[in-house]
Every structure is written in structure tokens, then in C-alpha cells.
Copies of this chain bind each other. A is one copy, B any other.
Amino acid sequence: MKKYLITGYSGFVSHHFLNYLESLQQPCNILGVDINEAAFDLGSYKYVQGSFKNVNLLNREEVDVLIHDYKPDYILHLASYSSVASSWKNPVTSFVNNTNIFLNLVEQVRLLGLACRILSVGSSEEYGKVDVSTLPLHEELPTNPVSPYAVARVSQEMLSQIYAKSYGLDIVLTRSFNHIGPGQKEMFAISSFAKKMIGIKHSSSGEKTMTVGDIEIVRDFVDVRDVVKAYYLLLQKGEKGEIYNICSGKGITLKEVLQTMKNILQIEVNIQIDKELIRPADNPVIIGSNKKIKDKIGWQPSISLETSLKDLLNYWDNNQ
């Protein structure tokens, strides 16, 4: 039975990955680790079995014991401080909780000489501020990080390349674009919009105003359920040392996202822009090309933006 070590177990993506594994109806063993308590248990799964361990990945000794004892076949490294906005407030925390935790993991795999495939999750933020003429963003473009979070991701990517190409570790890399879907924390823009919209829908005071930052920026959104399928396929079929964009290939403004949500809920909303919420050095347009992962791995997104937003709104409706 294949063994998966999943870091960032209590996060949004992990839960969807477990659901995907379960849907395959093949027995597998997982060890979930997180610095927080387990956000869900495995009791409801039939094929996915395993356990949870509370681990601080910044503590190298804890990581050493973890890898040594479990000897995973796969590491799905989801642990991350993945908010760009938070990284501006706490750049050191963002950096060490992305780059250093990754380094601790791969170093122990190297030292033990484990035959273990690792998925190094990167971000579309690595492309940074780009010329519109280079869109859609493809994997050969140079990186140009313009936030502390993006710097951490590029650093992780460079380390991945060294570990894959020079030390021979079996690492496959992604540049994952903005995820959306049920269960996402409200620290991310779209989920925060959805929560606010649901608040307005149920407002007893008739409040119709929501405050947002820059909604003219264009992003490429991909449903988390499509993302985890890509992660699974890359663990099976990805090429060592290669980077794969995971994206829809379509750009949409946050303004259009808000409009779609209003249409779904059939409510009136008064959108107010707060310039204080506009981040320094934000990237105006991010749209990716998913040609490589389509051609080489056979993955493509299957869930429409409207479905993603409906499910996200439903999630907040059920979790107010």
C-alpha cells in the first residue's frame, strides 16, 4: 500500500486531496502532519487510512524523526503560509514557513537516500509583475517575485531544482494559480467576498455594503478539486525536476467575480473600494498557460468558475 506524507494536513487543499484519493477507491495510507491540530479525522473514509501527527516543520529534529519513521512513498508538501497579504505584514514568518520547512523535508530525504517522490508546490506569484505581451504565463518565463511570499516560493523552487538535478531527488514542481472552492479560509480574497455576500444575504439590519481592495486586478482561478487532481497526477506521471503550471488558462477581474456572486445569490450589494486594502507592488494581471500539463500529463480543469463560486457561497451559507 502506497504511503503519502501530507504536510499542512489541516488546510483547505489537504481535505480535498483526501477526498480525491478516496474517490479512486484504492487503499492507501496517509500520515497527515500540521502545526495546528487535525482539522478533520479519517473516520469517514473507507479507502484512505492513516493517522495524524502534530509536527513543527521548522524543527529539524522533528522532521528528521518524522521522515525516518514513516518512510513515505510520496510527500505532498502543502504546508505553507500562502497569503501574499500576510507576507507583507510578517515577511520573516512567511519566508521561514515556506522555504525553511521545505528545506528541512528534502534534506532528510536526501540524507536517508529515500526513494520518495515529492511534490513541491509553487505559486503563480513567482511570475511577479509581467508585461501583458508575455501572457499567458508559461513555465519558461523568468521569475520576477514582487512580494515576500513570492520570494519564498522562488527560493523553494530553486532549492527544488538543486535537490532534483544535483542530488538526484525525485521532485516534481508546480506553479499553482489562485485556488478557490469550498472550505477556503477568509484570509483569501474570493472566500472573504463570498462570506461577506452571505452576510449581506442574511443581514437583519438590511446592510448592503461590502468593502474591498483593488478589484480591477485579473487572476486565473482554478477550483481546488481540480488542483488536487493535478497534484495526484503529477505525483504519478510528472517528470522529475520539471515545473507545471496549474491554472484555468482564463483571466477574470475580481469585479467580475463579485458580479457573478451577486447573480448567483440574486441580491443587491453596494461595493466600496478601500484604498488602504490595496497592497504594495501588486501584480495587475495573472493568467497562466496550462498547455504543458495538458499535453504531458493529460490534466485539464473540469469545474467552471460559476460552479466553484456556487459551492463556495454554499459553504459559507452552511458555516456562518
Contacts and interface: CB of A to CB of B under 8 A. Distances in A.
Interface of A: 60, 88, 91-92, 95-96, 99-100, 103-104, 107, 142, 145-148, 151, 154-155, 158-159, 162, 165-166, 280-281
3 closest A-B pairs by beta carbon, nearest first, are A155-B155, A151-B158, A166-B280
Given A99-B155, A154-B155, 7 more contacts: A60-B92, A91-B103, A95-B99, A100-B100, A146-B166, A147-B162, A155-B155
Contacts of A88: 166
Identical chains bound together, number: 2
A144 to B, nearest CB: 9
A87 to B, nearest CB: 9
A166 B281 contact: yes
A159 B100 contact: no
A63 B314 CA distance: 48
A95 B142 contact: no
A103 B91 CA distance: 9
B145 A142 contact: no
Contacts of A159: 91, 95, 148, 151
